[in-house]
Structure 1
Amino acid sequence: MESAQEAWNSGSVEGVLDKYVDDIVYTTNTGGPNGESLTIRGKENVRLRFQKAMEVIDSRSHLESARWENGLVRTRLTAELRHRATGHCLQLSLRQVLRFRGFRIAEMQDFHDAAKLAAFWRLIGDPLSRIKNSAESV
């Protein structure tokens, strides 16, 4: 979990994906075409989403807390997204629920401030809009 976060902070999508199982299930409470929840299945589809985001933003997160409970890891993080072209920044907090298979992440659920995150993507021009429809069909 911590090495995946370090890879994310360094901008290494492949470093993050190395910490996931091939059939990862990634769910976020925002990210669908109208800001609704979105589930992406499989490392290749997650790669596409993360690469599109990392093309336009720098993102840094800081783990505030983590606890193991009933086979799940629950985390709280703070994060900052910075749009490279304009310098617009978004600071937010989020929660995650992770399930592991061995030492790799098998399932990850992100819970953001959906309205705040959607407003940021609308402000900078959402690079993920091109892949949302294809990711939903997976």
Structure 2
Amino acid sequence: MRQSSITSEFIRFVAIGLLNTANYYAAYTLLFLLGVPYIIAHLAGFIIAFVISYFLNCYVVYRVRPTLSKFLKFPLTQVINMGMQTLLLYILVDQWEWNEILAPLPVLVITVPITYGITRWVLKDKEG
């Protein structure tokens, strides 16, 4: 794949990530305003956004056909992402005494490209 194709794909990945954040927040807020307890609204919002994210990543970012196998592997991308972000945030804040408000920014700079690569590998595996 050409560099410009990967760059375009990465930009779509970031844009879908931002849209996914908005999807989560919209679902969470709507459910909460409808009287759903906040924890249930959070979990439901996460699941709704996760499913939407899977299909958007398949169709828009990586342009692959969604399959049950890929859908079942997709949560691994989020587990790895959350683990990396949590570990790096802990190191920056608790070990290196960085500001808690600023520390997530370099964490995202490091983890978003890694998550992109892992997600690409999971969703494109044998499709190239």
Q: TM-score, normalised by structure 2?
A: 0.33
> Larger % of strand: which?
1
> Larger % of helix: which?
2
Q: TM-score, normalised by structure 1?
A: 0.31
